[in-house]
Structure formats: C-alpha cells, structure tokens
Amino acid sequence: MSHANHPTRTPDTRTPDTRILAAVAHTAFFLLLGASLARFLLRHPGDPRTPWIIALSITLALLYVLGPALGVRETTPTARRLLWLGLVVTTWVVLVVLAPSFAWCAVPLFFTAVRTLPPRAAIILVALLTTLVVIAQLQLAGAFDPNLLLAPPAVAALATAVFVHMERQAQAQRALIDDLIRTRRELAATERREGTLAERQRLSMEIHDTLAQNLSSQQMLLQAADRTWDTDPATARAHVRTATGIAAHGLAEARRLVHDLAPPELADGAGLADALRSLDAGPDITVRFHLEGTPSALPDRVQSALLRIAQGALANVREHSGARTAALTLSFLGDQVVLDIADDGHGFTEPRPDAAERGHGLPAMRARVRQLGGTLTIESAPGEGTVLSAAVPLEPTP
C-alpha cells in the first residue's frame, strides 16, 4: 500500500513538564483575556471603543488558537512562526493602548515568545513587553506607584527564567533522545556486523571440519588406490569404496550446510554418544569409543561443537600422526562434559603458548570451545602419542 499521499506529522518532542506548562500558560492567557474584556465592558459601558475592543479581543483569541496550526511547535524559527508572533504581539499592543487592563495578558505571551524565538531575541521582546505593561499600569493607576514600577519587571524576570529553563531542559532532553536513538542504531549495526562475522567464522569451521576433511580423505584414499591398483586390486577397490562412502557423507554435509541443519550424525534424535561411536579415521586406524558418567541431555550447540571437534581431531590423527589406534572418551562430570581424543601416533613437541598454530584445525577447535565457555588442552610428546581434551561447562539442572 502506498503512503505517498499521507501527510507527515511532526513528532511532539516536548517533555511532559513542558506540555503541562504550555497548557497552563494557554489557559491563563484566555482567562486573562476574558477577564480583561469583562473588566473593560463593566467599567466603560457605552464607550465608543467597545466595538474595537471586542473585535480585537476576538482577533487575538483566534490568532492565539491558530498558532499550533501555523507551526509554532517546530524546533527552529520560520518566517511563518515569526509572522504569527508579530500579529499576536501587535494585536495585543493595540489592545493595551486602547485598554491598559489587557496588559495582564503579557505573562502568557512571555512563554509564547520563549517558545517561538531564540533565547536572546525572546528576552529582548519580553523586556519591551514589560516596559509597555509598566506604562499601561501606571496610566491605569493615574498616579506614580513604586509597586507598579517594580512588580511587572520582577514577574517578567521570574516567568522568563522559568520558561527559558524549561525550554533548555526540553532541548537537552531532545538532544539526549536523539543521541540514544543514534547510539541504538549504531549498536544494532555493530551487532549485525558481529553476527555476520561470527556466522562467517562458524561456516568456515563447518566447511573445514566437514567438506575439506572429507575431500582430503578422499584424495588420500584415491591416491592409495591408484598406487595399489595393479599390485593389489582388492585393496584398491576397498579404498575406492571407502572414498565413495566419504563422498556420500560429504554430500550430506553440503546439503546440511545449505539448509543450516544439525549435523547428519545428530539427526533423527541421535545423541552425541551414538554419533561419536559411529566415527572412524580411515581403514588403517582403529577407533574405540568410551562413555563415562551418567549421560545427560546436552544443548544442540554443545553436541554439534563436540562432534565437530572429534571429527577434526580424527582427521588430524589420520593425516599427521601415523597412529594405528585412536580412542574417544566422552565423560559426564556433573558440571561439565569432557571429550578426550587420544592416539598412539608419533606425537609432536608442543608449541609455545604464544606460537602461531599452523593450519585451520586447531584454531577452529579452540574457537568452538571458547564460544561455549570451555577449554581445549593438548598433551603430546615425540613417540608418545597425543591427547586432545575439550571441556565444556554445563548449566546446573534446576
């Protein structure tokens, strides 16, 4: 549905205190205007100025009412607002000249001036209006009265100070709201960027731990089949069949990545223990699985992460360790779950903690465990095999 023809509403950014003060000032204006008109009619019956006073009073009331429709709530002065304020003040000045009792309408006009003009211009206009009020009151009294000389400036100063303070508070709050909105938008954009980077990293690890490892295994098996094809056809065919099975598994992984589903080993309600039990590291390596402790339900992301770590570790065992056997041990220790992958390969000298790790496998495993608040440790020595341990904390059961 198109909204091109709908008018745009300017949001009212005034604070509740400012809105209350505005309502009080507007009410006071009409009360003082009505009281001044009633006073003139009671004090001056049959006065030839009466038609002009009534007409000017009605005009002033209509102009005051039309103010919001002319845009006086906008936050920046415009020619239309200044013209409106000029008409209101001019009409009021003519009324005061004809009937000094209308001078009491000046106080609500102070508020209107502060709301319409910049602070310095508003103060100048208030000073001029106050001077006119003093002259009108002295004329109405018919004699010099110090109270009439000092009271209007004091009231004007107090009222203007309150109005200016309220307006500055409203402006500060508008600025604060704008800052909060801008900050929230920036935060949302940052979260989106971080989410994109995290998802990119996750997919990178998924591809490495599944498709890349599967392709590497297929390459090794096909190369082995090629070397033994003429001398040992049966072994070569076995390598090809194993490579075919790995290719089928890789195809399932590719489809899962497209649909962003759980690992196929965990599909159909299969648990982590069953998924780990079904893993293998190739035809030349025997993989054994052990379960320790009382199994408990694990979050999907924990199961997926531990399964991927096991797959990546077994890929490293197959490609780098020269091991004949590997053992997977899943331990439920109450407040944490621990997965150990041990092999009897040739091992290696552990790198320094600050040394960069080669390849993508170990950094990916560390990133997976870190995302779950866990730790990844590796124990290895030349000729003594390797043990990789991933520990993930579990939330206490209520």
CATH no. for residue 381?
A: 3.30.565.10
Do 201 and 367 touch, CB atoms closer than 8 A?
Answer: yes
pLDDT attached to residue 355: 39
Do 310 and 338 touch, CB atoms closer than 8 A?
Answer: no
pLDDT attached to residue 123: 77
Q: Which of 164, 184, 204 is the last residue of a domain?
A: 184
Domain extent for 23:
16-184
- Reading the block at residue 130, the tokens are 């106050």
Can you name the residues that pair with 337 across neighbouring β-strands? 332, 392
pLDDT attached to residue 374: 92
Q: What are φ and ψ of residue 196, in 5° steps?
A: -65, -45
* Co-location of 161 and 291 in the same domain: no
pLDDT attached to residue 105: 76
- Reading the block at residue 303, the tokens are 């199961």
3-state secondary structure string, 116-156? HCCHHHHHHHHHHHHHHHHHHHHHHHCCCCHHHHHHHHHHH
pLDDT attached to residue 157: 67
pTM to 2 decimals?
0.40
Q: How far apart are CA 376 and CA 300, in angstroms?
A: 19
CA 350 to chain centre: 43
Do 276 and 307 touch, CB atoms closer than 8 A?
Answer: yes
DSSP letter (8 states) at residue 212: I
* Co-location of 180 and 40 in the same domain: yes
* Co-location of 155 and 299 in the same domain: no
Can you name the residues that pair with 288 across neighbouring β-strands? 327
Q: How far apart are CA 86 and CA 79, in angstroms?
A: 10
pLDDT attached to residue 391: 93
The ranges of the chain with pLDDT < 50 are 1-13, 72-75, 259, 261, 352-356, 397-398
CB-based contacts of 43, cutoff 8 Å, min separation 6: 101
Query: What pLDDT, in 10s, does the model give residues 283-319?
Result: 788 899 999 988 888 888 888 889 889 988 888 888 8
- Phi/psi class of residue 123: alpha, beta or left (left: φ > 0; alpha: ψ in -120 to 50)? alpha
pLDDT attached to residue 75: 47
Q: Which of 128, 149, 184 is the last residue of a domain?
A: 184
* Co-location of 36 and 157 in the same domain: yes
Q: How far apart are CA 135 and CA 372, in angstroms?
A: 80
Q: How many domains does the chain have?
A: 2
Q: Report if residue 251 sits inside a domain.
A: no
